[in-house]
Amino acid sequence: MTLARTVSAETLDHLAPDDPAARRSRRDLVRVHRAMGTRAIVAGGWQALVGPARAAAPLRILELGAGDGTLLLGLARALAPRWPQVQLCLLDRQDIVAPATLAGFAALGWQVRVQAIDVLAWAARPEATVPGTRWDLITTSLFLHHFDGAAFELLLGAAAARCDRFFACEPRRSGLALAGSHLVGALGANAVTREDAVRSVHAGFRGTELDAHWPRAGGHWHTREGAAGLFSHCFSAWRSGTPR
């Protein structure tokens, strides 16, 4: 089945952080990530980009669209023994990271800060040449599919200008993924999550669609893109000469 990419507003993005439906939907996403195997997929993507020697050195990582930070906390617990010196920034337009989540990162020795800003405002900032704003890795999970057109180009351009490595794990736009999105109710998901799951697949990616939009100006990039697991689509980019 070939599905045309269609981006539409998702309900969770427009609910107040303390709305009971939003809280429930964020809990649903934990189960959705588990069913999709997102943590293992992202861990594998990161490790392919950052080799053992580089991982042992101080690393600066930025997550775009970080949400409540729980996905990366689970990832950090798996990687911390081999990635001991990480400075992590969780960027989202809402600061919904719980103190317990921050404490979990701190217990691993990871230094974490939350930056509450709209990602397009972040992307529009002329900070690419400002010292201290360059990242070893920019990462995102189930986030890029919210964007298209000029906003999509702005976001990818800003990421490429500000990092040496980039990794994205997104919904795959396929018949199988669409069928799966209609079954998230079996995980106990509420109406918000059920509706947004279907919208996410329609806005997802396939083939080399992300590679086609990744900016090459300002440095030679290597890229890798393709299916991951049953329902995910991943894109990796790294600058030529970047230690891996």
- 């990419």: which residue's tokens? 5
Residue-wise pLDDT for 92-126, tens only, equals 999 999 999 999 999 999 999 999 999 999 999 87
Burial of 7 (0-12, 13-18, 19+ CB in 10 A): middle
Distance from C-alpha of 34 to C-alpha of 38, rounded to nearest angstrom: 7
Q: Are strands 111-116 and 221-228 parallel, antiparallel or unpaired?
A: unpaired
Mean pLDDT of 52-61: 88
3-state secondary structure of 137: strand
Q: Which residue has the higher pLDDT, 224 or 218?
A: 224
What crossing angle do the helices spanning 20-36 and 191-202 adopt, rounded to 10°?
A: 50
Task: Report the CATH fold assignment for 21-239.
Answer: Rossmann fold (3.40.50)
Q: Give bridge partners of residue 169 from the DSSP assignment.
A: 141, 234
Residue-wise pLDDT for 180-191, tens only, equals 899 888 888 899
| CB within 8 Å of 241: residues ≥ 6 apart | none
What crossing angle do the helices spanning 20-36 and 38-49 adopt, rounded to 10°?
A: 60
Parse the chain into domains and list their residue ranges: 21-239
Mark 52-91 as b/e (b = at least 16 C-beta within 10 Å): eebbeeebbbbbbbbbbbbbbbbbbeebbeebeebebbbb
pLDDT higher than threshold 70 for residue 1 = no
pLDDT higher than threshold 70 for residue 217 = no
Residue-wise pLDDT for 70-81, tens only, equals 999 999 999 999
pLDDT higher than threshold 90 for residue 131 = no
DSSP 146-198: G--HHHHHHHHHHHHHHBSEEEEEEEB-SHHHHHHHTTGGGGT--HHHHHHHH
Distance from C-alpha of 117 to C-alpha of 37, rounded to nearest angstrom: 28
Q: Record the pTM.
A: 0.93
